[in-house]
Each structure stands twice: as structure tokens, then as C-alpha cells.
Structure 1
Amino acid sequence: MIGYYVHHHGGGHAARATAIARELEAPVTGISSLPRPDGWPGEWLQIPLDEGDEQSDADAHGQLHWVPLGSTGLRERAAVISAWIAAAEPRAMVIDVSVEVALLARLHGVPVAVFALPGARGDAAHRLGFEIAAVILAAWPPQATGLVTGLTAAAERRLAPVGAIGRLAPFPDERSAEDPHRVLVLAGRGGDEFSPTALDRARASAPHWTWEHIGGSGTWVDDVGPSLSAASVVITHAGQGALADVAAARKPAVVVPQTRPHDEQHASARVLAAGDWPVIVRDRFPDGGWETLLERASGLDGARWEQWNDGNGAARAAAVIDELAGRRSR
């Protein structure tokens, strides 16, 4: 048995976890405050939210990320996870992401695989999570060096970049010859600069382009595949899930990183800008000049995304996790 903790913020963690869980050989139980995702292949343990007061030493004097004093939810979720570990006797646990849950599992004698996210992760809590982990999974390719900083040399040796993991299997860029000026704005749940006002200005500066806006303040769809397939260029934030989907569709992109903790999206954007990826990076959503920007982007070769997302990231991550669980069973 493998336990798989899924962070409840945003939709990317659950999508990634589901893709990996479906590739695992060992049976898996998901653990999260989220409801069970569609397609989850095993059991699902829904746990309470760890709500609390930020002023109540919620970071344990800077040593952890979120352990608010007096939080009933925090106490109950730790108790539920502990009871599950005692009953299920998991061979390993995957943590995406929580330093506190990783530490809880390791204190029960369970080896943990943790996910690294992009950005500056040298604070005490991140370092603790990385140092106790048996393996550190990274959902980006080995070629994308420098996406995470702050790891010790020992943690770096346990870092396993497996490639992007998204909701879509890769498919060729077959944009329409009849509609070669179609742009998709791909927004996320975490807030972004892609506001209706900003997009009105962008449309006005690129009148020859057909615009579609999904996510954020736009239309929400369950399957982004058809919209990505129809686009000539994608304007996207720099979240891992969005980049994985754009890469799967082999679409050239204009990447506008959004403000996130630990400089997460800006770190990804810097690595993309420095490499041979089919993107144009802008630090903020431009007020104008989109006609020229989109024409430049449409000339980039989307096939260069293959190294970022070759479709095998979930399988590689599952192989690492299965190996970790098997290592303990021998």
C-alpha cells in the first residue's frame, strides 16, 4: 500500500496525483481535504481542513509552514492520518505537498517521496522536508536546471526530475490553416493579471486575432484539449499544470508569470526564457503590442516542447515511487 497526500489549493496537485496513481503498480490511497477526483484509481481518505489563525505562531517560529496553535482541524487531520498509517501500514507515502504531513509520516517510520516545486525553497521548513525525504520528485525535465534553489548538496542528489505531468497526452500541433490567427488565454485558479479589462486592451491591439479565454475570469471547461488544439498561440501563466498542458499540445506560448509564494512562477519563467523552449516571456501582461508579439510567437516551433513533456512523466514518477515502496518491503 502507498499513501498519497494531495494538497487542496488549486487543481494542479490533484491532476498530477491522479495521473501518477494510475501508473502505480502498488495499490494507493489518496489523502486530502479535497473530494475524490474523477479517475482516482484507489481508496480516498478525505481529511479535515487545517484552518487556524495566522497570528498563533502558525509557522512554529519559522521552522514549519502551517501549524496554527489551537486548530481543531489540524489536530483532527493529523489524528486521521496517523490512524490510517497504523491500520494500512503503507510501504511509502507520497507528499504533494506539505512539510508537516511529510514529517508526520516519517515520524511513523514510513519512507516519504516529496515533490519539489519551482522557486526559492531554502527556508527552514522546506529544507526540513527535503532532508527527511527518501526521494524528491520534480515535475520538470532534467534539462530545466535551476528551477528550484535552496536544496543542500545531499538533497540535490535525491532530486529526481521526471518531466512534466499534466492532464493531456501529447498530441501534434495541427493548427487550422483556415484560422491561423487564433489565441488562447489560459488562466488559473490562483489569481492572475488576465482580467477582462486587460484582455479588452489586448484584443484592441491585435484585431486580426480571434481570442478565447478559459479559466480565471474566463470560461471554465473540464477539458482544455480542444481549445489548445485549435489555438495558434497560447498566452499562459507559468504554473506547472498549465505549462505541462501547453507543452503536451506542442503550442508556442507567451508566458506571463504570476506572483506566487517563493517566487515559484517567476523562477519557471526565467528558466524558460534562458532555454531553447518555444516561448516568449513577459514579466507582466502587456498593455499593447500584441499583434507583433503574437506573430513572433506563432513562428516558434512548438515541437521543441517534446523534451519538457514527452508524455512519460507520470510513468517515471510512478516507477520511482514503486521502487521506494519495494525497497522497504525487501
Structure 2
Amino acid sequence: MRTILDHLDAVDPALFVVDVSAEIALLARIASVPAIGIRMHGNRGDAAHLAGYRACVGLLAPFDEALEQPETPDWIRAMTHYAGGLCTAQDVVPGKAEARAMLGLSPDREIVVVLTGGGGAGTPYAPLTMAARALPETDWLVLGPVQREGHETDFGNLHLRGWVATITAYIAAADVVVASSGDTIVHEIARVGRPYVCAPEWRYFDEQMRKGERLAELGAAILVSSWPGASTPWRGLLDAAKALDPAALASLHTPTAAASAANYLDRLATSLWTR
């Protein structure tokens, strides 16, 4: 806290953008530094989170207002600027055939891309072996880290690619994407517009599960609350995802979201200090 206060003294900011932390938002309020709180999903109606929101001069949601949780109080909604689906990816989205050619993948086989980022322990590997055994004519490409139990059986149609630089191409090459529900992943899938099976990772305050519930309610994804422990559900999950209206997920990505967020911060900083 002392280090943060010294830094705020040194730079004398017009605004302090606080990534979720209620404690830092309250510190900013005590220090008379106007703070913007970043909104995230989850069960955040406890006294500490609400105090952190109230301490801010505004709130920024890097997601579409359609993803807002229904129980969110009106005063929080009124404080929130919904920037839309914010995505860091900038590369051109190829067509499915082009993406497969780029990656050296079969033009004909069904391809499922399984994706997670670095925020957790990784995708559980054991359920994926069940999926690969259940659907041997499907290629399962796993991006990012995996979490092993140590007793899994490997299958020839289950490919661990690890960290890749061409995530947009992999998503574009897929028939279905199976992924967690972190903000970046959701919007990268929405940007490409592929059928989505949402498998939330454990997070504090049920952040990913609550977001997954909203995606399912909007018809943007098929939600699995836990990884299937048997081979039988996998075909049904993939077919259910393919049956969704792709426009429901695609509408959650906003190409201008970064500019919207930046303009909001700029306008607020200007208005606060020119009153």
C-alpha cells in the first residue's frame, strides 16, 4: 500500500484504473485519487465488493451489456460503461478452409479445438482422453496448458499443441471450440464465430461459472458445469453447440470496444478535473 501511495504521489494521475480489487479502490478513495473499477462477473454482492464499487467514480465493463448478471443493482449498472466485447486479437480472421491449410490440418475431418489460458491450472486431460476415445473420427487439438492425473491413456486423435501464436487460425479451423469462460477467450471465440462449448474453470466468486450461465441463457454457448466423466456425452455436446445460432455469440464481440473504453476514460478524466 505504501508503494502504491508513493507512486500515486509521484505521477499525480487524473484517474487510477483499478483491476477488480476492492481494497485498492478503497485506498484510492482515502487518498483522494479518483478510481475506475474494472467489472468482472461473479457473486460480488458482498459488503467489500459493494464498498469498492461505491468508492469509484465510475466502472468499466470490458463486455457487452447483454452479459450483465440479472441481479446486478441498478446503481452499479448506472455507474458502468459497457465497452462491449473487448478482444486483444488483431490478426485477420481466415475462413475455415484457409485456416486448415495454414495449419496443415485435414480439410475433411471434424476438428475440435480445446482452449484455455494461463489463469488456472489448465484443461483437465483425463476428460479429453474420454472424448478422443468416444469420437475417433474427430481430431482434438488442445491449446494452452493441461492438467494431468497421471493415469490417462493417450489417443492418436488427441494432439497437445501447447502455447501457439496463431490462436485465431486455430479457432477459425475448428468445427467446435471447447473452452473456459475467461473474458479474453470468450471474445476471441466470438470474434471468429465458432460453436462454443463453455467449460468454466474454478475462480473466486464463481466468476467463470456466472459468465458461462449468461452465455448459455443468451444461446451463445453450451454450458457444462463439470467435465464429462464418461465418453457418452461428447457427441451430444458438440451437436448441441453446432445447433446454436452463431449470431448470438458473434454479437458479443465489439470491434470498437478498445476505443470505447479509452474514450470513456478520457472523457471522465477531463470532466472530473474541469468542473
TM range (shorter): 0.7 to 0.9
Q: In 2, Cα distance between the equivalents of 1:253 and 1:124?
A: 34
Q: In 2, Cα distance between the equivalents of 1:327 and 1:131?
A: 19
Q: Which residue of 1 aligns with 2:39?
A: 116
- With 175-184 and 85-94 compared, the bigger mean Cα shift is at 175-184
Q: For 2:78, which of 157, 167, 170 is the aligned residue? A: 157
In structure 1, the gaps of 5 or more residues are 1-77
Higher helix share: 2
Q: Which residue of 2 aligns with 1:260?
A: 203
- Pairwise CA distance, 1:256: 1.2
The answer (yes or no) to whether the contact 1:193–1:285 under 8 Å persists in 2 is: no
Q: In 2, Cα distance between the equivalents of 1:270 and 1:117?
A: 14
Q: In 2, Cα distance between the equivalents of 1:104 and 1:318?
A: 23
- With over 3 angstroms needed to count, the CA separation of the structure-2 counterparts of 1:172 and 1:304, relative to structure 1, is farther
- Pairwise CA distance, 1:328: 2.3
- Pairwise CA distance, 1:223: 4.2
Q: In 2, Cα distance between the equivalents of 1:238 and 1:153?
A: 25
Q: For 1:280, which of 222, 232, 247 is the aligned residue? A: 222
- Pairwise CA distance, 1:253: 0.6
Q: In 2, Cα distance between the equivalents of 1:207 and 1:116?
A: 41
- With over 3 angstroms needed to count, the CA separation of the structure-2 counterparts of 1:312 and 1:170, relative to structure 1, is farther
The answer (yes or no) to whether the contact 2:25–2:52 under 8 Å persists in 1 is: yes
- Pairwise CA distance, 1:92: 0.6
Q: Deviations over 1:186-216 (max 9, x none)?
A: 0233436832222111111111111110112
Q: Deviations over 1:8-52 (max 9, x none)?
A: xxxxxxxxxxxxxxxxxxxxxxxxxxxxxxxxxxxxxxxxxxxxx
1:71-82 paired onto structure 2 within 5 Å: 78-82=1-5
1:23-42 paired onto structure 2 within 5 Å: none
Q: In 2, Cα distance between the equivalents of 1:84 and 1:179?
A: 56
Q: Which residue of 1 aligns with 2:55?
A: 132
Q: Which residue of 2 aligns with 1:311?
A: 255
The answer (yes or no) to whether the contact 2:196–2:241 under 8 Å persists in 1 is: yes
- With over 3 angstroms needed to count, the CA separation of the structure-2 counterparts of 1:155 and 1:170, relative to structure 1, is farther
1:230-245 paired onto structure 2 within 5 Å: 230-245=173-188
Q: In 2, Cα distance between the equivalents of 1:272 and 1:304?
A: 9
Q: Secondary structure at the match of 1:137?
A: strand
The answer (yes or no) to whether the contact 1:170–1:311 under 8 Å persists in 2 is: no
Q: For 2:189, which of 234, 237, 246 is the aligned residue? A: 246
- Pairwise CA distance, 1:301: 4.0
Q: Which residue of 2 aligns with 1:186?
A: 115
Q: Secondary structure at the match of 1:191?
A: coil
- With over 3 angstroms needed to count, the CA separation of the structure-2 counterparts of 1:223 and 1:109, relative to structure 1, is farther
Q: In 2, Cα distance between the equivalents of 1:266 and 1:110?
A: 33
- With over 3 angstroms needed to count, the CA separation of the structure-2 counterparts of 1:194 and 1:88, relative to structure 1, is closer
1:10-21 paired onto structure 2 within 5 Å: none
Q: In 1, Cα distance between the equivalents of 2:63 and 2:240?
A: 25
The answer (yes or no) to whether the contact 1:99–1:128 under 8 Å persists in 2 is: yes
Q: In 1, Cα distance between the equivalents of 2:128 and 2:77?
A: 41
Q: Which residue of 2 aligns with 1:89?
A: 12
- Pairwise CA distance, 1:234: 0.3
Q: In 1, Cα distance between the equivalents of 2:117 and 2:226?
A: 16
The answer (yes or no) to whether the contact 1:114–1:130 under 8 Å persists in 2 is: yes
The answer (yes or no) to whether the contact 1:173–1:302 under 8 Å persists in 2 is: no
Q: In 1, Cα distance between the equivalents of 2:240 and 2:137?
A: 14
Q: Which residue of 2 aligns with 1:29?
A: none
